[in-house]
Amino acid sequence: MSEAAGGSRILIYSHDSFGLGHLRRCRTIAHSLVERYRNLSVLILSGSPIIGSFDFRSRVDFVRVPGVIKLRNGEYTSLSLHIGIEQTLALRAHIIEQTAEVFAPDVFIVDKEPLGLRGEVHRTLQQLKQRGARLVLGLRDVMDEPKSLAPEWRRKNVMPALRSLYDEIWVYGLPQVCDPLDGLAVPKMVRNKIVYTGYLHRTLPVPRARHRLPDLTQRPYILVTPGGGGDGERLIEWVLRAYEAQPRMPYPALLVLGPFMRPEKQAEFMRRTERLNNVAAITFDAQIEELEANAAGVVAMGGYNTFCEILSLNKPAIMVPRTRPRMEQYLRTARAQELGLARMLEDDGTLDAGVMAAALRLLPFQSKPSDVVIPGLLEGLHNVNRLVEPWLGAVAVPAETEGRVAGRLALVDGK
């Protein structure tokens, strides 16, 4: 579609305005693609209010649509604008359609929500289908338990779109670890579109200037990260209780609270860490991979991106999954523990300081993910690059400026 413009184009849509998972997954894929294909441009459509806090490679850019947020009653409301939700959704849909019309992608990748938020990408999918674009649905390894996902997809009328609109369904995982559509009545023609890519391998970002980190990061430490932090208060509370109850813990802890944690809880946790000699807290770090790489172990909730980072950086990990509003993290974490990739610690409602302290003491001595052999586990990005190649006019060579990456790709391709 974009040959006349001298290069190929991929458009990636991420519906979410809250949390970091969808945005970071899309950014990882975009960076890998432009690193591989010299004549490719990737544009990300996102509702994230903090997308501008991240660095993007050359030939990767973003368009931010107005954000929305889900209320406790399940309804949506505008994140920032003082307009009704229907107006907000209409505005988002219009921006998405116009962006797709002008950008004219060769490939359109939709992250997680097959029709977008409240169906906002349905018309765009139909229009791009008519224009010959390759339409791809990208799913993480776990969506939700079948008894919840099946009625949700029926309500959203997902299956007709999977049958008639999408050309491929990429699952960013392996079926022997987790299958996101397990237990669902999926037609054979839809099953035939599914490709399990493997998990998305993460590497350390290019170093850049940053705020000075707490002094405790100069020695081995435990990193505690609840991702975006909007639902991570109990994890931080549990770890803090352990350090408050047992101040002589062998390893200090760095807490990364997350940008979406309530400001009053952030302030409370900051005050409590100031009273401890071996705990420090920061709100956000766009280069979280570097903090994870330097840690003796990681404590996290079990979201997809953090799980990929734990695997990629080969870190012993404690995962404390949430169970509401979805069972996604619990299902992933239970399977990771079963395979020996990480340890699961369930929140039983008590947040017992002794239980967490005992787990933290053992954490640096746990087995590492690399002790488990699962062929193809971290080949997701390599396979995504292979999957898009037939639909691009770009030459499949590494970017000239990425000598280190060029060497890695040459080894992968056996050249």
pLDDT tens digits for 39-62?
A: 999 999 998 888 888 889 999 999
For residues 281 and 195, membership in a common domain is answered with no
Q: Is the pLDDT of residue 3 over 70?
A: no
Indicate whether 153 belongs to any domain.
yes
Binning pLDDT at 50, 70 and 90, where does residue 4 land?
very low
| pLDDT, averaged across the chain | 90
Between strands 76-78 and 68-70, the pairing is antiparallel
- Is 232's pLDDT higher than 80? yes
- Asked whether the predicted pLDDT for residue 21 surpasses 90, the reply is no
The identity of residue 78, as a single letter, is S
pLDDT at position 300:
97
How does DSSP assign 18-69, residue by residue?
SSSHHHHHHHHHHHHHHHH-TTEEEEEEE--TTGGGS---TTEEEEEPPPEE
Which residue in this structure is represented by tokens 């999954």?
321
Indicate whether 365 and 406 sit together in one domain: no
User: What mean pLDDT comes out for the span 202-213?
Assistant: 78
Task: Judge if 367 and 347 occupy the same domain.
Answer: yes
pLDDT(257) > 80: yes
Mean pLDDT, residues 258-262: 90
User: How far is 38 from 29, CA to CA, in rounded Å?
Assistant: 15
Q: Does residue 406 share a domain with residue 310?
A: no
Same domain membership, residue 104 and residue 233: no
Weakest-pLDDT range from 5-9, 176-180, 407-411? 407-411
The pLDDT confidence band at residue 134, using thresholds 50, 70 and 90, is very high
pLDDT of residue 74: 60
The pLDDT, as a whole number, for residue 71 is: 64
Is there a contact between 224 and 292 (Cβ–Cβ < 8 Å)?
A: no
**What confidence tier does 236 reach under pLDDT thresholds 50, 70, 90?**
very high
Residues 26 and 175 in one domain: yes
How far does CA 374 lie from the centroid of its chain? 21
Percent of the chain with pLDDT over 70: 90
Residue 405: what pLDDT?
Answer: 36
Cα dist. 56→273, 289, 402 in Å?
A: 33, 15, 15
Residue 253 and residue 394 in one domain: no
**Do 108 and 131 reside in the same domain of the chain?**
yes
Q: Answer whether residue 265 shows pLDDT above 50.
A: yes
Of the candidates 207, 304, 221, 218, the residue with the CA atom closest to the CA atom of residue 256: 221
Asked whether residue 286 falls in the same domain as residue 384, the answer is no
Q: How many domains does the chain have?
A: 2
Is residue 50 domain-shared with residue 158, that is, in the same domain? Answer: yes
What CATH code is carried by the domain that includes residue 70? Answer: 3.40.50.2000
> 206 in a domain, yes or no?
no
Are 187 and 96 in a shared domain? yes
Q: What percent of the chain has pLDDT over 90?
A: 76
> Is the model's pLDDT at 1 over the cut of 60?
no
The mean per-residue pLDDT over the stretch 283-303 comes to 93
First to last CA, the chain: 30
pLDDT at residue 347, as a whole number: 95
**pLDDT category, 119, cuts 50, 70, 90?**
very high
| pLDDT range class, residue 410, cuts 50, 70, 90 | very low
CA–CA distance, 266 with 226 (Å, rounded to integer): 12
Q: Look at residue 412 in the predicted model and tell me its pLDDT.
A: 34
Look at 214-218, 228-232, 307-311 and tell me which has the smallest mean pLDDT. Answer: 228-232
Range of the domain at 74: 3-201+378-412
Q: φ, ψ for residue 375 (rounded to 5)?
A: -55, 135
The tokens describing 385, both together, are: 């690059």
Residue 210 in any domain: the answer is no
Contact 397, 34 (CB under 8 A): no
Question: How far is it, in rounded angstroms, from Cα 116 to Cα 118?
Answer: 6
Task: Specify if 207 maps to a domain.
Answer: no
Q: Residue 209: inside a domain, yes or no?
A: no
Q: What is the pLDDT of residue 6?
A: 61
> Given the structure tokens 């599914």, which residue do they identify?
194
Q: What is the reported pLDDT for 209?
A: 64
From 97, 74, 78, 100, select the one nearest 87 (Cα to Cα).
78
Q: Which amino acid is at 203?
A: T
Asked if residue 166 is part of any domain, the answer here is yes
Top-confidence residue, 6 or 389: 389
Q: How far is CA 397 from CA 11, 37, 38, 206, 411, in A?
A: 20, 6, 7, 21, 13
| 178 and 232 together in one domain | no
